[in-house]
Structure 1
Amino acid sequence: MGAHDDRSAYELRRLLVALAVAAAVVVMLELRTSRPDATSFSSPVEAATDETQPVGPTTLTVALTGEILPHPSVVEHARRFGASSGQAFDFTPVFSDLSPLLAAADLAICHLEVPVAPPRTSLSGYPSFGIPAEIGAGIGSTRWDRCSTASNHVNDKGTAGIRATLDALDGAMVGHSGTARTPEEAAAPSITDVAGVPIAHLAYTWGFNGTPPAEPWMADVLDPDRILTDAREARAAGAALVIVSLHWGNEYDTSGSADQRALAGRLLASPDVDLIVGHGPHVLQPIETFHGKYALLSVGNLVANQGRERPSTYDGVIAEVTFSTADDGRFHASAPVVHPTWYDRDAGRVRLVNAALDDPALADLQSALAASVTRTAAVLGPYVDSG
């Protein structure tokens, strides 16, 4: 086939993908309008009752990504990449395709699902994970600014694992929320300055697989009253935006549960919570609005290897949420835009699907990429960037 024929084939595949996205949009909109509690996608955020006034820029973009869950096969790819770069493990190539989008955001937030193995201990996988400390450098070099670290695996390696995880992120100058090494660290507001705007990032998990940390302050448990109190205190400490990461939901459920929606509605009814991003199900779940604000029920896996029999666990997104100041002086969110991702388990790399579909060097991945974006569009249709 000639170059022109190759280009035509790619354009045909992209057209088919675009049609799949469009079809999913129609279905999602029909489902949305049929729900008795539906909220318009264009609903404005309700005016807050406090007097918080943001400073700095009038528009900010936050990028949110799925679960970083390096199974042993992922770690093995990092070892092979490290053999070429002169490191024991190098996670940077795993994520490198994502760097331009993450760097373009004002704040990029990841979710680190599993702990770092403490020094002088062995690496391990499911059910008790312990990954290389080099994950911190990989996250930092990819241009994430901070991570949520509260998950059901947070105590897999005990207190030493919690400490090692946060030490690795600190070493890469990556902020973190949800776990702590000391009571003082746990009590400190998780507020970061973003271009002059103070943004609070809070993170919580449903539990710890039956083995809680040695002290309750080491990891934040998902409790509605606690979350609302923390959000209120973050506002009082000066936060102009409060983003809440929740490790919740049922594994492999692409619909989202009634419990998730009830909690999202309760939290977003508060003027102190601006956005919810969910992790835990290992698959994508819908984006919905509650009280005019957005809940990303689950942004899926970013990197994981949970078996070819579960293809949806390789799908994720970079979700971009843009906040702009309104007449009330507060930041309000516009509709999220999601960029589909897919973990290429054979190459050990996370692919940006739209860019990969246009890459002739990845011709052998075209059918897998098209299937991934079709699955993503079926869940997130109205929000998918079709490229």
Structure 2
Amino acid sequence: MEIAKRTNQLAKLLILNLIAVGCLIAFPLLFSGCSYFDPNQETSQNEEIEEPEAPVELNITCVGDIMVHNPQIACQYDSKTGTYSYNNNYKYVKDYIYKADLALCNVETTFAGKPYTGYPTFSAPDALAAALKDTGFDVAMTANNHMMDKGLNGMKRTLEVLRGMDLNTAGSRLTTEEKRYAMVEVKDVKIAVIPYTYETSSGNGRTSMNGNPISSESAQLINSFSYDTIDTDLQEIKSVCEEARQDGAQIVILYYHWGEEYQMSANQWQKYMAKKSVEDMDVDIIFGSHPHVLQEMEYIKNETTGKTVPVFYSMGNFISNQRTETLDNRYTEQGILAQVTIQYIKSEDKITDIQMSAIPTWVEKYSSGDKPIYEIIPLDRNLDTNETLAASGHLLRAKQALEDANGILKSN
């Protein structure tokens, strides 16, 4: 009996063990506490699918020549307060400038202090610099043929005034230790702005601006090139671009003050410089001005690298007193908001898409009370309802400017 009883107990234990093992085999997830691995499933249920990196979109806006002739100085003065203000000039374009991630302008005057003067040697009230900051510009480019109108001291004070308004500057420098470019960080992307202006031929090897020789000290502090030594000077510009890249620039913008005044298409030098810049330099955008009228815009492709570079040969006058009434030339009243939109992949340091466009502008000048008023009118969908044009009666002139600009810009 005792042996039979023990045999029955062992049999029961054996059966219980078999049941337990069977449960482990049949229900591994219940006992293991681990995820079930299916060799036919490619991705684990807990593994996140990596999304492709979204490109950074950069919207860059640049405008052409900002000039201050004597009539503009007079009309921006308030005799009651004894102060100057230029804010009203930009009220219609301010939204466009503010919406840009990076906004550039060519300041074709100096801030050399009193006496304030217009053509041929410019010195504007400091209030203009304040207006440019208020309008939303980020970089003031100073490389142009009027940068030395008031000598070395005038050039240096211009930089001090602009920087005092918290504007980045490029095109001239206070000392040789400063870089020849401005480095601006936008959406964690470093952008270098490199402006250069043409020199006038001196005949003796000295640097000359607007026909006036300048000292060797001054020449070291400005970004300039000579058509007489263009290939050598382009090599220097290339080295500046390379320096900017080594300094971390992910986007490089060139600005050239070039061409012939009042010529409505790019000349051979502009075409040559643009082509060489795209072929030989690692640049992404080229803006240009100086002719005081609009010229064509085009894409130039580097056939070796495949990079496509937008080129604006002349952005015209953003504001000046050059117009039909003064020069018998309506085209000097016209400019553009030159716009470039970039899609940039940071991890690859690569532009995946780049598009150029332009919004034409027209300089309005009309009388109100005892003095004229200057305002830049964007020739956009609000043209027909613009309050200033309704008051001045100049809507047809603005529409003619739009027609002119579209014809010039689309010539290529």
Which band: TM-score by shorter chain?
Answer: 0.7 to 0.9
Q: Decide which of 211, 217, 220 is 1:217's aligned counterpart.
A: 220
Match in the other structure for 1:263:
273
Structure-2 residue corresponding to 1:248: 258
Query: Map of 1:33-112 to 2, 5 A cutoff?
Result: 58-80=56-78, 86=81, 88-112=83-107
After TM superposition, give the deviation of residue 321 of structure 1 in Å.
0.2
Structure 1 281/192 Cα, relative in aligned 2: closer, same or farther at 3 Å?
Answer: same
1:195 and 2:187 are equivalent in the alignment: yes
TM-score by length of 2: 0.74
Match of 1:132 in 2: 125
Equivalences for residues 280-299 of structure 1 within 5 A = 280-291=290-301, 292-299=308-315
Residue type of the alignment partner of 1:201: V
Cα deviation 1:184-237 (Å, max 9, x = unaligned) = 22x365211112111000011102112244322221112211111100111111
Equivalent residue letter for 1:169: L
1:357–1:369: 8 Å Cα contact kept in structure 2?
A: no
Contact 1:57 1:196 in 2 (8 A): no
1:381 Cα deviation (Å)? 3.0
SS at match of 1:336: strand
RMSD of equivalent CA atoms: 2.1
Letter in 2 for 1:345: K
Q: How does 1:113-192 map to 2 (within 5 A)?
A: 113-118=108-113, 121-185=114-178, 187=179, 189-192=181-184
Quick check: 1:365 aligned with 2:357? Answer: no
- Describe the shift of the 1:195–1:117 C-alpha distance in structure 2 as closer, same or farther (beyond 3 A): same
Mark the CA change 1:333 to 1:345 in structure 2 (over 3 Å): closer, same or farther: farther
2:344 maps to which of 325, 348, 357 = 325
Q: Which has the larger radius of gyration?
A: 2
- Provide runs of 4+ in structure 1 moved above 6 Å: none
Q: In 2, are the aligned partners of 1:147 and 1:176 still within 8 Å (CA)? A: yes
Tell me the equivalent position of 1:337: 357
Match of 2:322 among 284, 292, 306: 306
Letter of the structure 2 residue corresponding to residue 301 of structure 1: N
Query: Is contact 1:94–1:348 with CA below 8 Å preserved after alignment?
Result: yes
| Distance in 1, Cα, partners of 2:357 & 2:281 | 23
Q: How big is each residue's C-alpha offset from its partner over 1:44-84, in whole Å with a ceiling of 9 and x where there is no partner?
A: xxxxxxxxxxx99611010011100111111222214xx57
**Aligned-partner SS, 1:173:** coil
**Aligned twin of 2:204:** none
- In 1, the alpha carbon distance for the partners of 2:383 and 2:73 equals 23
In structure 2, the CA distance between the partners of 1:270 and 1:205, relative to structure 1 (3 Å rule), is same
How many Å separate the matches in 2 of 1:136 and 1:333? 34
Secondary structure of the 2:196 match is: strand
Structure 1 235/375 Cα, relative in aligned 2: closer, same or farther at 3 Å? same
Contact 1:303/1:343 (8 A) holds in 2: yes
The residue aligned with 1:374 is 403
CA contact (8 A) 2:133 2:165 kept: yes
Structure 1 residues 202 and 340: CA distance shift in structure 2, 3 A? same
Q: Which runs of 5+ in 2 are unaligned?
A: 1-52, 200-208, 226-232, 302-307, 367-372
